[in-house]
Amino acid sequence: MSTTLEAAIFLSMNGRAKEAIEFYKLHFHAKQLLLVTYEDMAKRDNSLQLTDENKHWITHSVLAIGKTKMMIAEDPMDINVKYTIGNNTSICIQSADLNEIENFYKSLTTDDRVRIIVPLSSNAFSKAYGIIEDPFGIQIQLMYDHRLQ
């Protein structure tokens, strides 16, 4: 197990991410570590459909509440599932050890009870990012993040 491995709570807020961030900053004194809007992300990924409505939406943010990290974005992990309260949370397992993330993914996907939502692959923000749903209905994001070193 690498020393950079961490798990974070991930909340999908269905267009209310900014409101949620301000709420947690106010009530839990959360510290904002990162905030990326759709407009910011479109500069890295030209396939992102940018509109006047969504350009200021949050594609990814990280807050620190004490020693715990919480990530907040607008969209659900599985865009094919209608947003409802209860399916808007997931766990993000991340590490600066690329092999560790790849091994977790390989292990998880050998279990026939696991559903692959997004296959592990490289994208605009990570060399390895994928999403699975475990046998208990929990969506798990796996992400390589070199910044954790």
Q: How many domains does the chain have?
A: 1
Q: Which range of residues forms the domain containing residue 26? A: 5-144
Model confidence pLDDT, tens digit, residues 41-96: 889 888 888 888 888 999 999 999 988 999 999 887 777 777 777 678 889 999 99
CA 65 distance to own-chain centroid: 17
Q: Is residue 100 part of a domain?
A: yes
Q: Is residue 149 part of a domain?
A: no
Model confidence pLDDT, tens digit, residues 22-33: 989 998 899 999
Q: Is residue 29 part of a domain?
A: yes
Q: Is residue 95 part of a domain?
A: yes
Model confidence pLDDT, tens digit, residues 120-145: 999 888 999 999 999 878 899 999 99
What pLDDT, on a 0 to 100 scale, did the predictor assign at position 70? 93
What pLDDT, on a 0 to 100 scale, did the predictor assign at position 53? 84
pTM: 0.76
Distance CA 133, CA 136 (A): 8
Kindly report the CATH number assigned to the domain that includes residue 30. 3.10.180.10
Q: Which residue, among 60, 137, 140, has the nearest Cα to 94 in the 3D structure?
A: 140
